[in-house]
Amino acid sequence: MIASLSVATAPNGLMSVSPSVSANSLDAYFYTFTQAQVDARAANPDPTTDAYYTAMIGSLKAHGWTVFEVEAVEHKITSDPQVPLIVCVLALLDMVENGFGHVFTIDRSTILAAANATCNTLKDPPDEIARQLDEWWGSTHVEVGLRVLSVGPILELFGIPYLGAAHFAMRITADSWRDLVSPDTDFSFSARPALMMLNWIEYRQHEVSLKAKLAAELAGKIKQTQLDLDPAKAGAS
């Protein structure tokens, strides 16, 4: 059984964690993922780039995670008119089904019905909502490119931790938020998802050296940090 979800930190956002995940599994995750971020930043300090994502996945592989790279999801506007918001939802549904379809069932019809209802509302929203959306959008945008790294959720099944990750890229040419629900908007969305399973035997081979390495790096960072704990100065500030 998968318990209700709580939250832990991840790059550029939040990661879902089941409270039923054991302390050993979380311990293994945090150590391997910390090292993966170190390795990824060496490849590219920007966590939204494909290079960062590729290096992160490679590091997790090297420290005990078996990685199943799910077939990349890509949706573009074709000759058939499509609404960008619906295209985005379809891409996300494909990604979740490809990565976690064997774990739980996705009710596509219910999700798409909700997305279509949202689109219909946004086509002619109440004045107050339209005003708030105008303020959110801000100044006119001609072309928007967005890249996002997502990590999670982390689940534990029969003592084995599973972790999902994906790199998203979206491009939209739009003058207003209204273009998000227009079938004439130039829009594309792609995702590189992966599902990872921790191999405990392989992880144990790296555990001692990995923890020692990270402890040494942390100690070095602490030594480089200079703190002035003079209470007089603290009172003056």
SS3 74: strand
Rounded CA-CA distance 217/198 in Å is: 24
Residue 39 lies in a domain: yes
DSSP-derived secondary structure letter, 234: H
Confidence of residue 9 (pLDDT cuts 50, 70, 90): very low
pLDDT above 60 (res 127)? yes
pLDDT above 50 (res 13)? no
Rounded CA-CA distance 53/29 in Å is: 16
Residue 1 lies in a domain: no
Distances (CA, A) of 150 to 14, 16, 39, 173, 216: 8, 11, 17, 23, 28
pLDDT above 90 (res 120)? no
Confidence of residue 11 (pLDDT cuts 50, 70, 90): very low
Rounded to the nearest integer, the mean pLDDT of the chain is 77
The most confident of the ranges 28-37, 73-82, 186-195, 224-233 is 28-37
Mean pLDDT, residues 33-61 taken together: 92
pLDDT tens, position by position, 182-214: 887 777 777 788 889 999 999 999 999 999 988
Specify the pLDDT at position 226.
62
pLDDT above 80 (res 25)? yes
Residue 166 lies in a domain: yes
Kindly report the number of other CB atoms within 10 A of residue 126's CB atom.
9
pLDDT above 90 (res 21)? no
pLDDT tens, position by position, 210-219: 999 888 877 7
Residue 13 lies in a domain: yes
Kindly report the number of other CB atoms within 10 A of residue 34's CB atom.
15
Report the domain count for the chain.
Answer: 1
The most confident of the ranges 3-12, 76-85, 194-203, 220-229 is 194-203
Residue 204 lies in a domain: yes
Residue 80 lies in a domain: yes
pLDDT above 70 (res 141)? no
pLDDT above 70 (res 53)? yes
Give the CATH number of the domain where residue 171 resides: 3.40.198
Residue 99: name the closest of 200, 214, 191, 217 by CA: 191
Specify the pLDDT at position 147.
81
Enclosing domain of residue 150? 6-236
